[in-house]
Structure 1
Amino acid sequence: MLLALAAAVIVSGQSFSCTPIRVWDGDGPIWCAEGPKIRLAGIAAREIDGTCKPGHPCPKASGIEARDRLVRYLGGAKGEARTGHVLVAAPAMRCVSNGPAHGDRTGAWCDLPGVGNLNCAMSRTGVVLRWDRYAGKRCRS
């Protein structure tokens, strides 16, 4: 398995590759073998503890349901890290940065082979909600 490098925020508008190696919840972060940590732009999921942050859209599905759906898109769980992160081994995604997403995370729109736009695919499942503030014209049904 590839080791993650130090995370750095990717400049808004820049394309980059992300080979997912671990996931926290349904909208990220997704750790990339290449270094970045991605927060899927334009969607919102409950936190793993079931809460929703103030001012964020709050889906009915639990944080665990959303995380598990994302993990399935990324090829299924390959184990669990001591930190509680789910390990995955997905093919490389092609992503475009949406800029900083709190701390060292990069907000991004990502295309996953066999799925297409991962952000919109997650939105269509109903386990996350489209976040109009950040989605713009993307992921409209």
Structure 2
Amino acid sequence: MLIRPASPEDAAAIWSIMEPVVRAGETYALDRDMSRDDALAYWLAPDKEAFVAEQDGAVLGTYVLRPNQAGGGRHVANCAYMTSAHAMGRGVARRMCEHSLDHARALGYKAMQFNFVVGTNERAVRLWQSLGFEIVGRLPGAFAHPAHGDVDALVMFRQL
């Protein structure tokens, strides 16, 4: 699996991964009716570094890395990851997270924080924990899940 910086030519592949995630509204606090252009503008914004994971020329996942906060919080990285539905369970998210941890460390970040992990996204919570992240905060009822109602969001953190 190759993980590389995203290029403008990856926009269609990135959208094909993002669209079902955004439309489902189960794991990201994004407008479920978000347009393709708005979603790509959000994901590929100048304040983020975007990457894609590909295998045999097919893009299987994407992630973005950015400072978690400005100023005094710039030494902590923040990432977001999305994997295509047909590639789930194949280790794509794990590889992207490992890549992001290495890349963040190389850039001089001291830690990584996930600000809003939907509590019902148990697969992601288990994966992040297996990669050394701890739940350091719980935001009760902070996410309006389309099937489960208001569910907790988790703040997860690890030192680099």
Q: TM-score, normalised by structure 2?
A: 0.27
TM-score normalised by the chain length of structure 1: 0.29
Larger radius of gyration: 2
Point out which structure has higher relative CO (alpha carbons under 8 A, 6+ apart): 1
Q: Higher strand proportion, which one? A: 2
Q: Which structure has greater helix proportion?
A: 2
